Amino acid sequence: MTQVKLDPDRYRANVGLALFSKAGHVFIGRRINGRGAFQWQMPQGGIDKGEDTAVAALRELEEEVGVPEKLVDTLQETEDWLYYDFPPDLKKRLPGPYLGQRQKWFAFRFKGSDSDVRLDRHTPEFDAWRWAELAETPSLVVPFKRPVYAEVAVRFERWTEPVLGGKVPQG
């Protein structure tokens, strides 16, 4: 199979966040402006100009989920960018020249308790949240993001193991 070379300048730089509980489940939030059946997703957000991807990931985690850096361990960052295209109807409504997004994904282990999750720390993105099986996430998101979520589920599968005795499994 031939892989198509995508122009990174045509895709908005973004980070995706897989926040894993000690039980090995992943955080998903229900989008406030979601429509239809597929309103759930893992947090994600833009990378500011000149911002390091790891810094952006921790910033977005605190902005969208209210979880500060001190309550997570960084487990993994994807080496490459994962891409998705916006569907035509969404692209018409969005400003800018972008065809879609390119994302670096981060896996974090959450060291806090459920009460540490605060969706109202900044302008809320989500109106509800829950822990889910990572393998289930592709079926919960809007269809155009499913291939990326399926890839994230494969790459981060090792982090779904429960933490035993407070130790994080090594990858």
pTM over 0.95: no
Count of alpha carbons within 13 Å of 28, Cβ hemisphere only? Answer: 20
- In the CATH scheme, what is the code of domain 11-160? 3.90.79.10
Q: Are 155 and 105 in contact (CB under 8 A)?
A: yes
Q: What is the pLDDT of residue 33?
A: 80
From 1-15, 39-53, 83-97, 157-171, the region with the lowest mean pLDDT: 157-171
Is residue 113 over pLDDT 60? Answer: yes
pLDDT category at 1 given cuts 50, 70, 90 is very low
Contacts with 162 (C-beta within 8 Å, 6 or more apart), sequence order: 22, 23, 24
Give SS3 for 162.
coil
Q: What share of the chain is helix, strand, coil (3-state, %, to 5)?
A: 30, 30, 40
- Model confidence at 150, pLDDT cuts 50, 70, 90, reads very high
pLDDT band at residue 2 using 50, 70 and 90 as cut-offs: very low
In the prediction, which pLDDT does 152 show? Answer: 98
pLDDT of res. 135: 97
Any idea what the Cα angle at residue 152 is, between residues 151 and 155, rounded to 5°? 85
Q: Which pLDDT score is estimated for 169?
A: 53
Residue 102 has pLDDT above 90, yes or no: yes
Q: What angle do CA 63, 17, 171 make, to 5 degrees?
A: 140
pLDDT of amino acid 165: 63
Lowest mean pLDDT among 63-77, 80-94, 155-169: 155-169
Q: E-strand spans in 40-141?
A: 40-41, 44-46, 72-77, 82-85, 100-110, 126-132
Query: Across all residues in the chain, what is the average pLDDT?
Result: 91
Domains of the chain by residue range: 11-160
Note the pLDDT of residue 88: 87
Q: Cβ(47)–Cβ(32) under 8 Å? A: no
